[in-house]
Each structure stands twice: as structure tokens, then as C-alpha cells.
Amino acid sequence: MKLKLILMLLFLAQPAFAQESQLDLDTSKFPEWMIRPAKYKADQQVYAEWEKVQCSGAKAFEAFEYGKAERLLKEAVNMAQEIGPGDIRIAKSPGDLGRLLEVRGRFDEAEPYLEQELYLKERAIGRDYPQLIPSMEDLIRFYLVNGTRDKAGPLTEDLINFVQGKYREQAKQAEETKLKKGSPLIGWAGTAQMEMRGPLLDWSITCDKLGDTYRYIGKPDMAEKLYKTALDVKATVLGKRHLSLANSYDNLGRVSMTKGELKDAESYYLESLSISQEVLEKNDPALFGRMDRLAKCYIEQKKFAQAEAVYKQAIAMFGGNKDYLQRALFSLGCMYSDQRRYGSASAMLGRALSLARETNGNYSIQIVPYLRRYAYVAYYTGGKGRMQNLHAQANYIAPEVKSLQANAAVAGKFKVK
């Protein structure tokens, strides 16, 4: 009986046997003990000593005692080799040390420790286990923001493949359940099994967040892959008319605009707006943003009549909200101005400027674009005096600074000897 109990405790303490890494991680510079076959030890005293140092280092990190934390966490990493690479608990030591070094701006030093954290988790639990997703997300984001960007792509593909595999499993199972002869039809919004809804949604959020990061750093292709993966997962879990899908369509529209794929962007924006109008209140701020992006997409395609219709609809919908009303009026006025419809532009921009003054005050930097654009239109509508007055107001708030160019003849007089 005692032998069985000991074996059970050993099994619980050491959850998995070592395995080769299948993730795209360069282990060539890892410590030798970390990549060797795991040899489990039953010495709880060793673990207790490591845990004491690790907890002290983590507490020092939380207390902003960075020097002390670094010393303790490095000691914890060294002590972890006595426990062995098959125990997931020891992954915390290189992970915390990597995050500490990242906070301190020592990104080159932080990177291998963060990689070691993911590697140790993979060895302990396997790459198909959902518990790896948060660590993969963290490492990918580090690569993109502070680390070696070239390493982010392969790991991102690993994450996408995992998530896509899981949601396809759920979609297939749901389809088989629905079509099974003699069984009732399932009538709820999504198609994923209830126990998988939470994890799938968490993974879709991960894909959206990483998509945002890729989009911000100018990597639209990978952003698009992530957004599409998130969209597919959400449709499987939530159904096809959920507000969360509108967010995904909106993200895909932005990526398509960046790539110059205007027809695709229009289609995504229309779908996003359609879902949003079904779900949200008529004056919800999210609606204005989606209408504005759709209108700008129309303008890029020179579909001015469609853009005008969208802005007029926004003006009617947000008439009670000065902030959004002034923005809609200003955008429509700018479009008229670009079309040389100066009379129509003047009416829109004049109203927009009045509302901007009410909202921000007469001397706010926020009203300067309104003043300058209205001044430009005033010139073409015969209001030279009004134009000069508006320019003066704008320059009083935010003086225009012209770049200085050295005159060659003058510069020659001041040669440094």
C-alpha cells in the first residue's frame, strides 16, 4: 500500500515524460540539463528549497526590488536543474527571470529565458495541450515588440494550426451530431460543444490580440491569418450574427485597406456594420466608427455617392451627440472640399467648427484642423477676409513652423575651421 502511494505521489509531482520539442524554438544555446532526458527525483527537500528561493524572487519582483529579484531568480534557475526538465513547475523560474529582464530593458538577455519557459512547459505537457497557448502568445508578442521578429512567424503558425485544428474538430463533431438519424436538431447559436466554448473563445481572443500587434507593426498578411482564424472560431462558438464577429470583420476590413484590397475591405466593413446595426443601439459609439471607416473606404474607391449617404445617415443618427456629429460633418465637408463642391463644403465645415468650439473651447488644439480646412474652403467661396481670420485663429493656437533651409551663399560665410 505504501509503495502504491509513493508511486502515485511521484506520478502527480512529475506529470509527463520528456519529449523532443516540436515548436520552432532554437535550443542550441539552452543549458545542457534542460534538453537532456528527464530523470525524475523523489527528493522533496530539493523541491522545497527551490520553491522557497523562487517565491522570494517573485515577491521581490512584485515589490519592484529588481536587483534582489534578479539574484534570487537566477539562483532559482540554477536550482531547477536538480529537479529536472520533466516538471512543469520549474518553468516559472526562467519565465519570471525573462519578464524581469524585459522590464529592465535587457531584451537580448530576456529572450532565451522566455524561450526556455515555453520549452520546459512543452516538454512537461506536450505541444497539443491548451495550457501552452498563453505562453506561446506571450513569447510571440515579445518577439514582435522587443525581441527577434523573425522568430515570431513560425511560432505564430504553430499557434494558428493548433487553434484551427481544435475548432475544426468541434465543427465536425457538431455537424455529425446534428445529422445523426433520429436525434433532435440542436438549436442554440453556436456549434461547439459546451465544454469547449470557453477555451475556444479564449484562443480567438489570443488570435485577435496578436493580429492587432502584427497590424500595428506593419505585417498585414499574418494579421489577416490571425483575424480569419478568430472569425472562424467565433462563428463556431457564437453563431454568425454575434457582435464579436462584427469586430473581426472590422479588423479584416482595416487589414484589407492597408493592403489596398478595397473591394474586400468594403465587403468586410458592410458585414461588420450590418451585424452591429442588428445588435447595438442606434446611437452606440461603435456604430459611428464603423460607418466612418466604411465611408472612407468608399471615398478611396471614388464611390462618393455611397460615402455621402453613409455620412448623412451618421449625421441623422448622431444628431444628439455633438462629438460624433461634428466629426461626421467635418468628414463630409472634407469630401465635398476634395470634390471642389465648395458651397456644400462650407455649410458642413461651418457647422462642424461651431460644434467643435462648443465641445473643446475656442483655444483648444482640437479645433485647429477645423479652422484650417474651413479657411481653405472660404478662399474658394469668396470669403478672403474670413479665410485670413480663420488662418490667424489657427496660427494663434498652433503656429505653423516652416522648415529652415540653409542658403548656400550665407552658409559659406560660416564655415567651421
Q: Which of 75, 73, 85, 67 is nearest to 30 (CA)?
A: 85
Query: Residues 91-131: pLDDT tens digits?
Result: 999 999 999 999 999 999 999 999 999 999 988 887 666 88
Cα 100 from Cα 66, distance rounded (Å)? 7
pTM to 2 decimals?
A: 0.79
C-alpha cell at 231: 472569425
**b/e string for 232-258 if b means 16 or more Cβ within 10 A?**
bbbbbbbeeebebbbbbbbbbbbbbbe
Cα 278 from Cα 300, distance rounded (Å)? 26
Could you give all domains of the chain from N- to C-terminal order, each with its CATH number?
10-127 (1.25.40.10), 321-398 (1.25.40)
Q: Is the pLDDT of residue 50 over 50?
A: yes
Cβ–Cβ under 8 Å, residues 358 and 326: no
Query: Residues 382-403: pLDDT tens digits?
Result: 888 999 999 999 999 998 766 5
Q: Return the residue matching grid coordinates 476590413.
A: 253
Q: Is the pLDDT of residue 301 over 90?
A: yes
Q: How wide is the angle at C-alpha 189 spanned by C-alphas 183 and 194, nearest 5°? A: 70
Sign of CA dihedral 178, 181, 183, 187: positive
pLDDT bin (cut points 50, 70, 90) of residue 174 is low
> Any residues with CB less than 8 A from the CB of 218 and at least 6 apart, and which?
none
Q: Is the pLDDT of residue 261 over 70?
A: yes
Radius of gyration, alpha carbons of the chain: 30
Query: Residues 343-387: pLDDT tens digits?
Result: 999 999 999 999 999 999 999 999 999 999 999 999 999 888 999
C-alpha cell at 90: 520549474
Give the model's pLDDT for residue 125. Answer: 84
- How large a percentage of the chain has pLDDT more than 90? 63
> Any residues with CB less than 8 A from the CB of 29 and at least 6 apart, and which?
112
> Any residues with CB less than 8 A from the CB of 272 and at least 6 apart, and which?
246, 247, 249, 250, 253, 290
Cβ–Cβ under 8 Å, residues 212 and 145: no
